[in-house]
Structure 1
């Protein structure tokens, strides 16, 4: 084994062999443009990992690490024939926009060993145990993979994707296809479609002015607040780098009973709210109240909360269950991030049902075919200037007084996360999760189904440390730290 990666924390990970896995069949080099919806994504990487214990074959014979890696690599090479975009590279075109060069550069595949048993892995604090240790840092290409052997004979399989190339739906498609290929499953899962024409802008363009309140060209971004500019120039520690104001990642589980309770509380006057809307509304109240406590100001402080909406089912004439429709297999980003903005005191004082209704209102406005067609046209209208979702951006200095202490976070629904389908031939994972400490100034939350398949959720939460502390002290029965005991590993 070679160098030590992430030697701090509770354990060390030794890096071993590094190999580039290319598609098993040769391919002609070609360019694949990014769609207008891809262009809304900044250069961010998203991690995902799966934990397996005591890998065995169908004959219940234990597999060694070398055999596991050989299966993973062989299946990956086969999967990249169909998912060739993941073996390419992102480069800039003549106008400065990113494009995908499909050249079969390959995927960096890293082997590693962790001096740790799975039953002792601190899942609650992924900043210490997952980041930089069990999930690879992608240095080149579109995708990086790491297979980490554990002392107990278990294995952690992880990937890091370039978000500009794949959203969670696309990543899920690939990972299930990879696992199916390893098992020689029949029929094989969805093969991807790269038909960018499915997301072509209309002629003439038809842009709803309301999109200007959701997205902004980077050229129109205001300068940072004065206090941040001054601190940066003087090399001082800014507010967001203090211990209580740094973004941290945590993992929890929320029981099915608590989700049902929140859903019941979120419904009123005969209205029906989804579990995601109800959970998001509750979390919005928690984050807003933590801001109120921290700032002791109920007049100026604002709070924003967004929810990621997948546009595939909105853009197809058939339902999502009809795999014949091209959008069902489309590989790329088909996302929008509507959000609500309210005064902190209003979010805190209003009942959960009112907050959930607010969530439902801004989500429903974006959950339409016309919204996504308009968003494609909006991007076309501003090209080649890149744009970003407004919820990720701090308002400028002219709004500084109003926005001091404001909060913003995004909830991304991971209910399609295929944790129970990620069987490479040695059994289902005992845990799977996304890992996305993306480095912005807005929080990020991803609820996923529990691997126990009992209706519980596993929640990846990336918020400011002060917000996390408040949530844990005020809602300990809702947000329960994810432990090996919960996963029946002890």
Structure 2
């Protein structure tokens, strides 16, 4: 186990399939052009809760029952999560909305919440607390801990939903569980992302995205430098200092610049370049009020590439300006409309973000996905707020992946999930003064009242 962690055994107590309480008529829902940019990969998310107060009547059985019944209601609205991904006549993925249902597992772990080494999710979370999805679009696992605490975890197909959509679902599920009105109903209107007529193409998109047939043979993962997963926290004051050092660039730009500099420090002599990308959500860029409730993927991944040696000679403010320079053009309506058109031109051939695939020569890369809207404080099913929550995305790419999220403590701290090569993790943790602090039980169980 990682530092402070305890080996434990997970016992599956029950598995069933939860279907929508009020299913829609079976139909096929096409993927949007932006969904088609996502390869088949799953994303996990988990929330940790302390044992309910002694004065309440909650038992594990009653909590599982409440989660199942409210999930069935939520699936009546979020019916794509109860469906399956199938192939259309030209072998593109699309959604079969057939109420196949969500695999729901109840489990027991003989470990206390304070004994979990959440900083090292490879040991404490992977294959244990976050379920592996075997079929369908979404699966759920609820795990009772030895102390009476609870972990609620989901894994979903990224081709169907981005983090924004998953967040909407999680909040709606918890609102239903606590008999609150659902604050945001999703829309599945693919017409919101219809290609233009005539199509308008931008050469810049050929730099950011690439048809799969144009890719070189996949680069094998360096067995000597395996990717590892870590969960950190960054104190609010350090986030503010990071931003202040970049002369008023955004917190995400400052954070991205910081990671980019660490990437350069970790690069081996033969790794001549460092590339850095940022996931941009296009909903607020597309000029339609309906986009605020749109369920699906509305993402682009701009990136920049710099010589590693050049990067090592730059300060944080200079790097943040570089980030701003390649990030800003991807935050416009025209960029996202153009991306929809670009995919249309290449269909039915699949395409992917180029940063995931390398650039043909030796280098290192990383993507920052802003999880700043992660609803850790809102996903409350009736027995108290989560004391900790995080995404879990050990995706296996050569490029690293880092996701900052708000801390459950609600004090401005960030929780950061990182999937990085071991040498990058070591460089990140060696930074002075330390900014990335490994999550400990003292952190996530601290009384913040």
Report SS of the residue matched to 2:380.
coil
Equivalent position of 2:365 in the other structure: 408
* Structure 2: distance between partners of 1:84 and 1:423: 21
Equivalent residue, structure 1, for 2:8: 11
Aligned with 1:128: secondary structure? helix
1:273-292 correspondence to structure 2 within 5 Å: 273-291=249-267
- TM-score (norm: length of structure 1): 0.88
Q: How much has 1:87 moved relative to structure 2?
A: 0.1
TM-superposition CA deviations, 1:319-360 (whole Å, max 9, x none) = xxxxxx211100000000000100011111111111001111
What's the offset of the Cα at 1:283? Answer: 1.1
SS at match of 2:244: helix
**Structure 2 counterpart of 1:29:** 26
Partner of 2:428: 471
Cα distance per residue 1:208-253 (max 9 Å; x no partner)? 011000000001111246xx5xxxxxxxxxx6122xx111000111
Q: How does 1:174-189 map to 2 (within 5 A)?
A: 174-186=169-181, 188-189=182-183
* Cα RMSD, aligned residues only: 1.5
Per the TM alignment, residue 26 of structure 1 is displaced from its structure 2 partner at its CA by: 3.2
1:129 to 121, 124, 136: 124
Identify the match of residue 369 of structure 1 among 312, 319, 333. Answer: 333
TM-score by length of 2: 0.96
Q: Which residue in 2 is equivalent to 1:50?
A: 47
Q: Which of 205, 208, 215 is matched with 1:211 structurally?
A: 205
Asked if residue 241 in structure 1 is aligned to residue 198 in structure 2, the reply is: no
Query: Superposed, which structure 2 residues align to 1:10-159 within 5 Å?
Result: 10-56=7-53, 60-159=55-154
1:243-282 superposed matches below 5 A: 245-267=225-247, 272-282=248-258
Asked if 2 retains the 8 angstrom alpha-carbon contact of 1:21 and 1:77, the reply is: yes
Asked if 1:337 corresponds to 2:301, the answer is yes
Shift of 1:27: 2.3
Give the secondary structure class of the aligned counterpart of 2:245: helix
Structure 2 CA distance for aligned equivalents of residues 286 and 26 of structure 1: 49
Instruction: Quote the residue 1:382 is aligned against.
Output: 346
3-state SS of the aligned residue for 2:204? helix
Q: Could you tell me how far apart the structure 1 residues matched to 2:432 and 2:163 are?
A: 28
The equivalent residue for 1:194 is 188
> 1:54 touches 1:62 (CA, 8 Å); kept in 2?
no
Q: Alpha-carbon deviations, 1:80-131, whole Å to 9, x = none?
A: 0000000000001111100100000000000100010001110110010100
> Per-residue CA shift, 1:56-98, capped at 9, x if unaligned?
49xx414110000000000000000000000000001111100
Unaligned runs of 5+ in 2: none
Distance 1:475 1:250, change over 3 A: farther
Report the 3-state secondary structure (helix = DSSP H, G, I; strand = E; otherwise coil) of the residue aligned with 1:67.
helix
Describe how 1:290-369 pairs up with structure 2 within 5 A: 290-291=266-267, 294-295=268-269, 301-317=272-288, 325-369=289-333
Q: For the Cα contact (< 8 Å) 2:6–2:116, is it kept in 1?
A: no
Q: Distance in 2 between matches of 1:152 and 1:290?
A: 40
- Asked if 2 retains the 8 angstrom alpha-carbon contact of 1:192 and 1:329, the reply is yes
Is 2:375 the partner of 1:418?
yes
Are the aligned partners of 2:6 and 2:117 in contact in 1 as well (CA < 8 Å)?
A: no
| Pairwise CA distance, 1:163 | 0.1
Report the CA distance between 1:489 and its aligned residue: 4.9
Task: Give the CA deviation at 1:467.
Answer: 0.9
Per the alignment, in what secondary structure is the counterpart of residue 255 of structure 2?
helix
Q: How many pairs align? A: 443
Residues 9 and 128 in structure 1, CA contact (< 8 A), matched pair in contact too: no
Does the C-alpha gap of structure 1 residues 310 and 427 become closer, same or farther in structure 2, counting only changes over 3 Å? same
Instruction: Give, in angstroms, the shift of residue 55 of structure 1.
Output: 2.1
